[in-house]
Amino acid sequence: DTEVTQTPKHLVMGMTNKKSLKCEQHMGHRAMYWYKQKAKKPPELMFVYSYEKLSINESVPSRFSPECPNSSLLNLHLHALQPEDSALYLCASSQAGTGGWETQYFGPGTRLLVL
């Protein structure tokens, strides 16, 4: 099973709302990632969790708050977003070791629209 699932598929929220994106994998991967992708652009890395600890934060605004409650789940909490935050949010996972064969697997994404 090489599946990463994301919920919801679509989300519309106002600038004062609080919402959360969820990501789940059951491949035993210990590294999980959040990316933001604007239309016709490559994914931009936001956060990386390694062994449930935040290891990379690419200077993301504090209105985005990641959380990794266990090795299978990754959340992205959203609060006071701006319209320019509208994008496809992709979750991914990979092994976190140094065997050299690690590959990143992506979920289908959550398409977010901020009004």
Partner 1 sequence: AQSVTQLDSQVPVFEEAPVELRCNYSSSVSVYLFWYVQYPNQGLQLLLKYLSGSTLVESINGFEAEFNKSQTSFHLRKPSVHISDTAEYFCAVRETTSGTYKYIFGTGTRLKVLA
Q: By three-state DSSP, how is residue 8 classified?
A: coil
Residue nearer to partner 1 on the CB measure, 21 or 48? 48
Stretch that binds partner 1, among 13-21, 66-74, 78-86, 104-112 (CB under 8 A): 104-112
C-alpha distances in Å from residue 5, one per residue of 26, 28, 78 = 9, 14, 19
Which of 85, 107, 112, 114 binds partner 1 (CB under 8 A)? It is 107
Q: Which is nearer to partner 1, 13 or 106 (CB)?
A: 106
Which residues lie closer than 8 Å to 28 by C-beta, 6 or more apart? 71, 95
Nearer to partner 1, 17 or 72 (CB): 72
Task: Find the binding residues for partner 1 in span 9-68 (CB under 8 A).
Answer: 31, 33, 40-43, 45, 48, 50, 55-56
CA distances from 81 to 15, 29, 40, 68 (A): 5, 30, 21, 21
Q: Are 13 and 114 in contact (CB under 8 A)?
A: yes
Binding site residues, partner 1, CB under 8 A: 4, 6, 31, 33, 40-43, 45, 48, 50, 55-56, 90, 92, 94, 96, 100-109, 111
